[in-house]
Structure 1
């Protein structure tokens, strides 16, 4: 099913940004219909828009550049979704939770585009790289920085911590999309549990020595739990 969240309102045929948007819309439609980037060509996009192939090349150097632009727009919409659910959350940790859930929800709503945007080939300096460094990932990293400033997360490299969180969200989304027949139970609940485990793991690192033997760390955590239970 074609998601309305990705589709932009169709603009009248014309030059400049209007035609560029039509080309991106047509490419998005074809990707959703076929499910594979290899099945979408410059010629098929031109036919869908109602222009000649050279008109496409006026806006995009080649098919790779066109796919990069579609994926970049996808990540912009993903960022909008993550930002909208973050607004009004009661705490920074709830913001992080909402962002992670929104990431996975959005991926599951748009599985074909998500697969192409995150698991297809990309080139350094592509529009996709720009989108990841300027939208969804930047806002996720900002949330991590806030958690560090609030001393909820231990101090450290916020970029690395945000990458870890995005990797986990991506892994959950990719598995739910590619292996829907596995016994996940409720997908939303499964996602929430996995993300919570990772978030709490980061918080736990603030009270234990990550370089200490695992047995010593477990003993320390059990001691803290015993104190809490005795209250």
Structure 2
């Protein structure tokens, strides 16, 4: 049975031709090979050309080499993440739930197409790559805007929204990377595990803001211990 997540990444094949139409078809073929085989080694200029029905030199008219082709595939891949981020955000009733949903959507998106995510985020950095820009617009900008909204609401303490968003994105990336690279670890339910990690980072950031960025772990424990009784009374 086809995976709906991967099906959403596949575009209707354009008529053969030249220019943008052929480029789109090349990207489609490379994406299908990656999703079908689960490994970048299965994608070559020759295999993509055969799938499209053109000669290898036709591929090189659009992409300098295999790395450039995979870069473009991954950049297009993250356009779908942008759509998913917007979808889950619209379904939430509060800003803090928006942030939680965005983090979980990011991790879920990564684990549903692990090879594409691995290429996009764990490969060697390339100057002029389109992937970083795609990542920023599809994930980081959404998270950053939500963090800024939480600061304005007073849920998060005043501070640099970009720095906080980067911390949260790092946590989401770490969870996604471990789930992909080390699936044998005792995570239990992957979504529940991801949710616990994200919750810990969210609340930890709020406590740090209340106690002070320079506070030591002992200072935080002391503050939480002192505040514990009053916090419990408020929750009753």
For this structure pair, what is the TM-score category when the shorter chain's length is used for normalisation?
over 0.9
Q: Which residue of 2 aligns with 1:156?
A: 159
Q: Which residue of 1 aligns with 2:59?
A: 56
Superposed CA deviations along residues 182-218 of structure 1, whole A, max 9, x for unmatched, are 2111111111111111011111122102313322221
Q: Which residue of 1 aligns with 2:128?
A: 125
Compute the TM-score of the two structures, normalised by the length of structure 2: 0.91
Q: CA deviation at 1:36?
A: 3.0
Q: How does 1:141-152 map to 2 (within 5 A)?
A: 141-152=144-155
Q: How does 1:32-181 map to 2 (within 5 A)?
A: 32-181=35-184
Superposed CA deviations along residues 139-191 of structure 1, whole A, max 9, x for unmatched, are 11111111111121122222221111111111111111222222111111111
Aligned-partner Cα distance in 2 for 1:181–1:217: 34
For the pair 1:29 / 2:55, whether they are aligned, the reply is: no
Decide whether the 8 Å contact of 2:103 with 2:172 is kept in 1. yes
Aligned-partner Cα distance in 2 for 1:126–1:230: 53
Aligned-partner Cα distance in 1 for 2:23–2:215: 56
Gapped regions of structure 2 (runs ≥ 5): none
Point out the more displaced range, 165-174 or 211-220: 211-220
Aligned-partner Cα distance in 2 for 1:154–1:62: 47
Q: CA deviation at 1:49?
A: 0.5
- Give the secondary structure class of the aligned counterpart of 1:65: helix
Decide whether the 8 Å contact of 2:82 with 2:137 is kept in 1. no
Q: Which residue of 1 aligns with 2:19?
A: 16
Compute the TM-score of the two structures, normalised by the length of structure 1: 0.93
Aligned length: 231
Q: Which residue of 1 aligns with 2:9?
A: 6
Q: CA deviation at 1:230?
A: 4.2
Decide whether the 8 Å contact of 1:74 with 1:117 is kept in 2. no
For the pair 1:229 / 2:229, whether they are aligned, the reply is: no
Gapped regions of structure 1 (runs ≥ 5): none
Decide whether the 8 Å contact of 1:36 with 1:116 is kept in 2. no
